[in-house]
Amino acid sequence: MKIFEAMAKEGHEQLFFNHDRTTGLKAIVAIHDTSLGPAQGGCRMWNYASEDDALLDALRLSKGMTDKCAAAELDYGGGKSVIWGDPKTDKSEALMRSFARYIEVLKGRYKTGTDVGTTYDDFIIALKETKHVGALPQEYGGGGNSGIITAYGIWHAIKAVAKELYGTDSLKNLTIAVQGLGKVGYHLVGHLMSEEAKVVACDINQENVDRAVEEYGISIVAPEEILSYPCDILSPNAMGAVLNDETLPKLQCKGIAGAANNQLAEPRHGEELANMGILYAPDFVANAGGLIQVCDELEGYNKERAFRKTAMIYQRLLDIFEIAKKHNITPDVAANKIVQDRLETIARVRRNYIGQ
């Protein structure tokens, strides 16, 4: 990969490559944009196929965090870190402490927490070496499981999509297809069932499936069938790039709202969804609940405040849908316009020196 060209393409500010010979740590920290404040974004640990794959993931995810922070009106920028390795076999106390020391070197320019392949326990260890971590358990001053508040936000996003599609945000008797029953999807199903929605779901992890079936009695289909399942609203809550050239022709939904990051494999897929008559809730708006909680932790966590901010996802999406209709653009383009406008406006507001 031509790194500087890749950075220039999306406007990244910095990339940090970190290696520790004692633990074998191989980590990348990508800082995309700090116009609004320090970069915020979780640490993903994944056994990438190549160095380029790890770098591309860091670049894409950090850009997504900038969008998410700006769209949620948070005074933080976008960043992301990835550790290249198998979280089941390569993770250790020493590796997480080594990683945390590299985070400490950045002196608060980047703050991190859990993501795919990392857990609360990992960042309790990281606290021994840096204070610039969030997404902590309640007993450590954090908000606890971020999947709960993320699911709460996705529930509101689905209600906004229903409101736009059907004129009411009631989910009663609507068929919702949930892809992924992990820490977000499982809690999302609870909200959907409370509204008497018809839920069909899948997960590649049988334990997740068994737990959801036992708790909620939902219908289950094979993972390869969920995207083509006839439904009102599809909710992708697994890995990204799920909306692509191969999957779009299979879709049989009227709307999409889920927690997965970077659901559109390419920007053009947002236009293709619109041409198919499918209403798409931009993922970086819909899935901001976890980020809102982590940012609230940095101010001294207040649960009511965090959930109130997350509930605003509903109106934020309705506003985006209205802008999209008014200007004859897609919702993802409308959301990105809001992001760019806020980045530019706040940067101009902060151009004046106000003293120390």
Q: What angle do CA 156, 158, 160 make, to 5 degrees?
A: 70
Question: Token pair 């060209």 is at which residue?
Answer: 5
Alpha-carbon distance of 256 to 236, in angstroms, equals 8
Kindly name the residue from 26, 63, 68, 80 that is annotated as catalytic: 80
On whether the CB atoms of residues 128 and 98 are closer than 8 A, the answer is no
Q: How crowded is residue 275: how many other Cβ atoms within 10 Å of its Cβ?
A: 10
Q: Which helix (H) or strand (E) holds 114?
A: none
On whether the CB atoms of residues 10 and 49 are closer than 8 A, the answer is no
Structure tokens at 13: 């500010």
Task: Collapse the DSSP code of 173 into the 3-class scheme (helix H, G, I; strand E, B; otherwise coil) and give the result.
Answer: coil
Alpha-carbon distance of 55 to 81, in angstroms, equals 9
Alpha-carbon distance of 341 to 15, in angstroms, equals 25
* Residue from 205, 258, 204, 191 nearest 231 by CA: 258
Instruction: Kindly provide the residue ranges of all beta strands, DSSP E only, lying in 85-232, ordered along the sequence.
Output: 110-111, 175-179, 198-202, 219-220
On whether the CB atoms of residues 181 and 211 are closer than 8 A, the answer is yes
Alpha-carbon distance of 53 to 70, in angstroms, equals 26
Instruction: Kindly provide the residue ranges of all beta strands, DSSP E only, lying in the chain, ordered along the sequence.
Output: 14-20, 25-33, 39-40, 43-46, 77-84, 110-111, 175-179, 198-202, 219-220, 233-236, 255-256, 279-280
Instruction: List, in sequence order, every residue forming a beta bridge with 133; answer none if it has no partner.
Output: 112
On whether the CB atoms of residues 98 and 59 are closer than 8 A, the answer is no
Residue 254 falls in the annotated catalytic set: no
Active site residues: 80
